[in-house]
Structure 1
Amino acid sequence: SVRMTSSEITPKGILANQVAVVTGSTDGIGFAIARRLAQDGAHVVVSSRKQQNVDWAVATLQGEGLSVTGTVCHVAKAEDRERLVAKALEHGGGIDILVCNAGVNPLVGSTLGASEQVWDKILSVNVKAPALLLRQLLPHMENRWRGAVILVSSTAAYTPRVDLGAYNVSKTALLGLTRTLALELAPKDIRVNCLVPGVIETNFSKVLHKNETFWNNYKENYQLQRIGRPEDCAGLVSFLCSPDASYITGENIAVAGLSSRL
């Protein structure tokens, strides 16, 4: 499968003939990204830790006429990552796009209050897993001429919250991982960029967006006067994976209404 330049896009969509793997994609931001990539022509492999969630996401998107398959994948488990790679290779024999959205935060509390087990879980899923999955996928991306990788961080990497201690650290690490991988993979014509969501209305962030005090403070500082939606992130990811973004790599881009990054 050969990627097209932006001048060669067919009516099938800007991502036609591409294969995309999206982790943590049966709900929230990941699900919205999977839907948008499929709407734009890609075959998308969705995944998450629970079979019933995968079944629901696949059935929903296939019901919309989209090219989607799925498999269970706990990204911190090597055997699950191997199964995800195998599922992606069933469609076209190669992989063009990887979106690493899976993430965890098992503790609301301070950095120094996190146990070793909490640290291990957060760093294993949020930081190590994207690098290890990409390593497994890389041989199947190199033969596709060009590739795109999107890591999903958080504005907690720019402005940490004291109650998200270790999670803040993991999301900051993803900014560095993005820059490092972008340099390493540039000679292979594989681009690596980072989506940095602000407060998006998902189950993962409901501890924030359901908090009336937080919402009142939020409105004072953010002129858009609303919480973000998962779909607000999806279009940017599709663009970053498309030929129109072929000269963009190593960037972290906030979708947050307003961010503190200059």
Structure 2
Amino acid sequence: MTSSLFDLSGKVALVTGASRGIGEAIARLLAAHGAHVIVSSRKAADCEKVAAAIRVDGGQAEVRACHIGEMDQVQGIFADIEAAHGRLDILVNNAAANPYFGPIVDTDLGAFQKTVDVNIRGYFFMCALGAKLMAKNGGGSIVNVASINGVVPGDLQGIYSITKAAVIAMSAAFAKECAPSGVRVNALLPGLTDTKFASALVKNEAILKQAMQHVPMRRVARPAEMAGAVLYLVSAAASYTTGSSLVVDGGYLTV
């Protein structure tokens, strides 16, 4: 039986970047605990596979495509959610961009701009519009998926690491200002996780071997192991938790 602390029945949850990996795992778990989940990413067809699986398992899910790097789409998804549901209780900002892997000094303007547009501007306005909609109904919970790279920059991942540091600071800033309206804002800092997004690291044997030397648990995380942390942050169990950065990294930052 699901503990009442983790019961999300009646809650409307939006999860971005939910067509695969960590986002998919989060969407599935929130739905399993009773939330009506809006599965979102750039491509609706990819999201529909996840939503269909949720419905087969007895959950509630719908699809809304949104590229968070495009402001008109960001504004549109919140307008659509308010029109359809009249509320938003949970927002998980998981969609991210990492188009460049290489020396920071060789980062070109295109890669820089894309990473900033999605990981900083996109997250910022998703938080701003999400918090406003939540406040209309007494509050809600926002989780921004950052990264341990926001604390210790990843090798050859300069601009990505910089944007994830910004997400950590952003989460604290929103938490401080939105608390009076009942909106909690926290950050999740995953370690290396077995996803397509991280495949350049996970599938490279030499890089992976080197990385595991710095992870006390000596393994890569599964996406589902990030979903449990998000469930806590959006649930009643975390009712007094805001402005926090929850690290789920197998011990990497302790080394």
Task: Give me the whole-angstrom Cα distance separating, in 1, the residues matched to 2:240 and 2:151.
Answer: 25
Match of 1:229? Answer: 222
**Partner secondary structure for residue 221 of structure 1:** coil
Change (3 A) 1:223 1:138: closer
| Residue 120 of structure 1 pairs with residue 99 of structure 2 | no
- Percent of matched pairs sharing the same residue: 32
Bigger drift between 245-254 and 49-58 goes to 49-58
Greater helix share, structure number: 2
How big is the shift at 1:112?
A: 2.2
Match of 1:66? Answer: 59
Task: Give me the whole-angstrom Cα distance separating, in 2, the residues matched to 1:32 and 1:90.
Answer: 27
Give yes or no for contact 1:23–1:47 (8 Å, CA) kept in 2: yes
Instruction: Report matched runs for 1:5-16 at 5 Å.
Output: 14-16=7-9
Task: Give me the whole-angstrom Cα distance separating, in 2, the residues matched to 1:21 and 1:261.
Answer: 32
Task: Give me the whole-angstrom Cα distance separating, in 2, the residues matched to 1:12 and 1:67.
Answer: 20
Bigger drift between 206-215 and 170-179 goes to 206-215
Task: Give me the whole-angstrom Cα distance separating, in 2, the residues matched to 1:158 and 1:10.
Answer: 33
Change (3 A) 1:261 1:100: farther
How big is the shift at 1:58?
A: 1.6
**Partner secondary structure for residue 91 of structure 2:** strand
Q: 2:207 aligns with which of 209, 214, 217?
A: 214
Change (3 A) 1:222 1:72: same
Specify every segment of 5 or more residues in structure 2 that has no aligned partner in the other structure, as ranges: none
Give yes or no for contact 1:12–1:41 (8 Å, CA) kept in 2: no
Q: Taking structure 2 as the reference length, what is the TM-score of the superposition?
A: 0.93
| Residue identity in the other structure for 1:81 | V
Match of 2:24? Answer: 31
Instruction: Report matched runs for 1:155-166 at 5 Å.
Output: 155-166=148-159
Give yes or no for contact 2:42–2:67 (8 Å, CA) kept in 1: yes
Q: 1:172 aligns with which of 162, 165, 173?
A: 165
| Residue identity in the other structure for 1:172 | A
Q: Taking structure 1 as the reference length, what is the TM-score of the superposition?
A: 0.91
Instruction: Report matched runs for 1:1-262 at 5 Å.
Output: 14-89=7-82, 92-260=85-253
Task: Give me the whole-angstrom Cα distance separating, in 2, the residues matched to 1:20 and 1:143.
Answer: 15
How big is the shift at 1:16?
A: 1.1
Change (3 A) 1:106 1:16: same
Bigger drift between 11-20 and 45-54 goes to 11-20
| Residue identity in the other structure for 1:156 | N
Task: Give me the whole-angstrom Cα distance separating, in 2, the residues matched to 1:119 and 1:213.
Answer: 27
Task: Give me the whole-angstrom Cα distance separating, in 2, the residues matched to 1:192 and 1:49.
Answer: 24
Task: Give me the whole-angstrom Cα distance separating, in 1, the residues matched to 2:116 and 2:254.
Answer: 24
Task: Give me the whole-angstrom Cα distance separating, in 1, the residues matched to 2:5 and 2:58.
Answer: 13
Specify every segment of 5 or more residues in structure 1 that has no aligned partner in the other structure, as ranges: 1-8
Bigger drift between 110-119 and 34-43 goes to 110-119
Across the two proteins, how many residue pairs are aligned to each other?
A: 254
| Residue identity in the other structure for 2:159 | A
Q: CA RMSD in A?
A: 2.0
How big is the shift at 1:31?
A: 0.6
How big is the shift at 1:260?
A: 1.7
Task: Give me the whole-angstrom Cα distance separating, in 2, the residues matched to 1:10 and 1:215.
Answer: 38
Bigger drift between 100-109 and 114-123 goes to 114-123
How big is the shift at 1:261?
A: 5.8
Change (3 A) 1:10 1:211: closer
**Partner secondary structure for residue 106 of structure 2:** coil
Give yes or no for contact 1:13–1:41 (8 Å, CA) kept in 2: no
